[in-house]
Structure 1
Amino acid sequence: MSFVYFSPRVFPLLVLGFASGLPLALVSGTLQAWLTTTGSPEEQIGLLTLAGSAYTLKFLWAPLIDRYCLPFLGRRRGWMLLTQVLLAISLLLMSRLDPSTQLGLVFALAFWIAFLSATQDIAFDAYSTDVLQADERAAGAAVRVTGYRIGMIMSGGLAMVLAAQVGWENTYATMAAIMALMTLATLKAPEPEVQRRAPRSLYEAVQAPFTEFFSRRGALAMLLLIVLYKLGDSFASALSTTFLLREAGFSLEAVGYANKVVGLAATILGALLGGALMVPLGLYRALLLFGVLQAVSNFGYWYLSIQPESSIWLMGAVISIENLCGGLGTTAFVALVMALCNQSYSAAQFALLSALSAVGRTYLAGPLSGYMVKSFGWPSFFLSTVLIALPGLVMLWHYRSVIRDLDLGTRDSG
């Protein structure tokens, strides 16, 4: 397993995954911290997560990415390069705004950045599904999750550390420069060995992927499982930054360092360990074990919330465990999505499945969490996130035979 991580098709996914994950925190957790420091109420901060609607709705324009190819860098990398350039420009524009007086513009630009980021995700997801060989998919899932989470932590934890030192404006400008550098990885990434035919018409690009998917046994159940599997994790993390800053009383710099150093190490360990364990465990057992650990890790935030005075070491332990278990669960989840995708329609099907995974985070966890905290308090809120995780685990067990039938190496590649 260790050697496959250095495959010329697997290793580039680390950097490309980083580029894919970088914008997400900049319109969610990091922007949440920015608004928190300006004194915005929890309800307003929670509603800002609707800016992530693009991640939920990206399946609507994914067929366009399948159907139309840009005249440079192949079928997938051309779209990746274009979105990365536009993201760098947009993040630079964000650095020039003041949320305390230009909240409407912040909202509008956050929606635009999320749209560009979701479009980059569509192209990257399809590229990684197409470029990997069958025996590289578990490692590929682990590597891309590692890169993605590093990108999120870089624009989350590091951004908060930078903001404490140089201000939010310079922080967003720095993130824009980093995104611009990511275009070099796209230019150097290899093309898939098998070049797949683009759909002959837009109708084919829209109709065929969904017809093929819904013709399978247990298709609707798999869609619901995609929504539920990480729902408890999404609720626990929705206002975690606000909790650590406002309720637990940690400084912006302390939260940033904890996410950057401890969280980064735990995420890398979780993702790579998840990729290695999936080989002996198999897809179903990995999903079940990692899903249980993912749910149990939420008790850490509950325990932190009932402490009269929390130490920075306890915060670091909670963040470490949450990121470790989150890395395990996300690796198995990505492997499930890749297993469900027919490579002939990888952009549209991956977009549909990954967009569904964002339904809970965007339309449930984000908007509702602020009101739940206000009604029940932080300790009860974090306990409820463990219960929210249970339906996904029950459904996973109920449809275990469908998942066991999935073979990462035999999905028809057209």
Structure 2
Amino acid sequence: MRNTHYWPLQLMLGWLNFAFTAPIIYLYLGLPMIMRQYGWSGTEIGLFQLAGLPAVLKFLLATPVDRYRIGQHGYHNWSMILTLLYSSILVLLAFFDIQHTSWGILFTLALTASLIGTWADIPVNALAIEYLPESERIRAGAIRSAATSLGAIMGGGVMLLMQTRLGWAWPFATLAALLGSGVLLLALTRTYTPIQHAESSTPHAGLKEWLSYFSTPDFRRWALMILLYFPFIGAAWVYVKPLMLDQGFEADRIATVVGIGGGFVGALASLLGSRLTRRSGPVVALPVFAFLSLASVGSLLLVSTFQMSFPAFAAAALFTALAMGAASGLIFGLMMYYTRPGLTAVDYGIQSSLFAFARTLAPMASGIMIGNFGYGGMLLGLVICLSVVFVLAITYRKHIKEAIHT
């Protein structure tokens, strides 16, 4: 069957990932700025970020998805129910104006939204594994990465402008409507036939299955790559804007070029990276994209050390966005190959938890390095870490080649 047959399904899944990402970005990158405008303390804003903790617990949330199949189409029904719940929580948030709501209530609602959104992501991506052939998985990962980049623009930019001009409720209503459209699209996926028939329940999905995931050498090596491949380039991206602000560049220029421009570059890089991966295979893409990450952070270190002009910083920042988009698209695509029959949701949840843990830890460690050694010391540390990742990617190529056929 021609690959064009899968484009509608790919775009549906991409839209769902976009709709899932935008609210999370708005809650954890947009709301802190609004909270500050209304006089909330730094401590209150910092503690509010704890509402994002469910992302690290995906392996726990995935277990009931595989253990308790709802009806004949388990992943499909789980996806629809959780997406509806996610949308409902956002509608509820629209009624609790920040001016008249306590920190506790707002935190509880945000935590619930994060929990349901994280949970909904599991069966949706399990659906992608179930409905797409292996030849489409790299493209699916790239589309997911691109959708995440565009969701960041939507949640971290467009929704903030909407809140400023139209008020508190409008962003939440809009984001809820996006999720509502996702429910309608999920209904259309039933016109497709699953590639993998994994609808039988797995009543014993639990601790034994979590631990047994790491029992094979290929899965252990892959777990190491999840922990190391993306977080260092992701940490560099987190600190690009603060770095440029501390160089004295205007916030508006940084927001436009890095915030919006970087999001589009990251999305484009994900799609172009998918094309390269499908043509040359992961055996080529894995070390090439690792080298791009190393080179981009090296360019940030160079322009920072010599305190170059805004165009030089902007070029290095966009190069970093390009490397990050390519790396994340590859990781998301390859994750689909490392699942076991009947445990698709659990295995995806384990990988996502590892990814979220490392992605959270690396920026924290980078911030400590900035405090002790400055931006130059932090970037040098990331260059060293990415050099190790590059060597591991070269070493790991043959195992990717043996385990994956594209």
Q: Same fold (TM over 0.5)?
A: yes
Show the counterpart of 1:373. 370
Q: Once structures 1 and 2 are overlaid, which stretch shifts more, 325-334 or 209-218?
A: 209-218
Show the counterpart of 2:351. 353
> Residue 286 of structure 2: SS of its match in structure 1?
helix
Q: Once structures 1 and 2 are overlaid, which stretch shifts more, 240-249 or 146-155?
A: 240-249
Deviations 1:136-186 (A, max 9, x none): 222222223222322222212323444554466543443333333332222
Show the counterpart of 2:394. 397
> Residue 148 of structure 1: SS of its match in structure 2?
helix
Q: Structure 1 residue 179 and structure 2 residue 169: aligned? A: no
Q: Would the alpha carbon gap of residues 98 and 256 (structure 1) be closer, same or farther in structure 2, given more than 3 Å must change? A: farther
CA shift at 1:235, angstroms?
A: 1.8
TM-score (normalised: structure 2): 0.83
In the alignment, is the contact (CA less than 8 A) between 1:83 and 1:120 conserved in 2?
A: yes
Q: Would the alpha carbon gap of residues 315 and 115 (structure 1) be closer, same or farther in structure 2, given more than 3 Å must change? A: farther
Q: Would the alpha carbon gap of residues 110 and 317 (structure 1) be closer, same or farther in structure 2, given more than 3 Å must change? A: farther
In structure 2, stretches of 5+ residues that fail to align are none
In the alignment, is the contact (CA less than 8 A) between 2:202 and 2:342 conserved in 1?
A: no
Question: What letter is aligned with 2:187?
Answer: L
> Residue 206 of structure 2: SS of its match in structure 1?
helix
Number of equivalences:
403
CA shift at 1:220, angstroms?
A: 2.6
* Pick aligned residue for 1:386 from 364, 383, 406: 383
In the alignment, is the contact (CA less than 8 A) between 2:19 and 2:175 conserved in 1?
A: no
Show the counterpart of 1:339. 337
Q: Structure 1 residue 202 and structure 2 residue 203: aligned? A: yes
Show the counterpart of 1:54. 54
CA shift at 1:124, angstroms?
A: 1.3
1:69-80 matches, within 5 Å, as 69-71=69-71, 74-80=73-79
In the alignment, is the contact (CA less than 8 A) between 2:66 and 2:202 conserved in 1?
A: no
In the alignment, is the contact (CA less than 8 A) between 2:139 and 2:274 conserved in 1?
A: yes
Deviations 1:31-87 (A, max 9, x none): 454456568788876665443321121101212111223358x32222222222222
Identical positions, percent: 25
CA shift at 1:308, angstroms?
A: 6.9
1:314-329 matches, within 5 Å, as 316-329=314-327
Q: Would the alpha carbon gap of residues 104 and 211 (structure 1) be closer, same or farther in structure 2, given more than 3 Å must change? A: closer
1:85-234 matches, within 5 Å, as 85-95=84-94, 96-98=96-98, 102-163=102-163, 165-166=165-166, 170-190=170-190, 191-194=192-195, 196-203=197-204, 205-206=205-206, 209-210=209-210, 213-234=213-234
CA–CA distance in 2 between the matches of 1:247 and 1:43? 26
CA shift at 1:133, angstroms?
A: 1.3
Question: What letter is aligned with 1:377?
Answer: G
CA–CA distance in 1 between the matches of 2:43 and 2:369? 10
Q: Would the alpha carbon gap of residues 258 and 192 (structure 1) be closer, same or farther in structure 2, given more than 3 Å must change? A: farther
> Residue 10 of structure 2: SS of its match in structure 1?
coil
TM-score (normalised: structure 1): 0.82
Q: Would the alpha carbon gap of residues 50 and 290 (structure 1) be closer, same or farther in structure 2, given more than 3 Å must change? A: farther
Query: RMSD between aligned alpha carbons?
Result: 3.5
Deviations 1:231-258 (A, max 9, x none): 212322335555566775544x655544
> Residue 61 of structure 1: SS of its match in structure 2?
helix
Show the counterpart of 2:11. 11
CA–CA distance in 2 between the matches of 1:65 and 1:189? 18
Q: Once structures 1 and 2 are overlaid, which stretch shifts more, 85-94 or 286-295?
A: 85-94
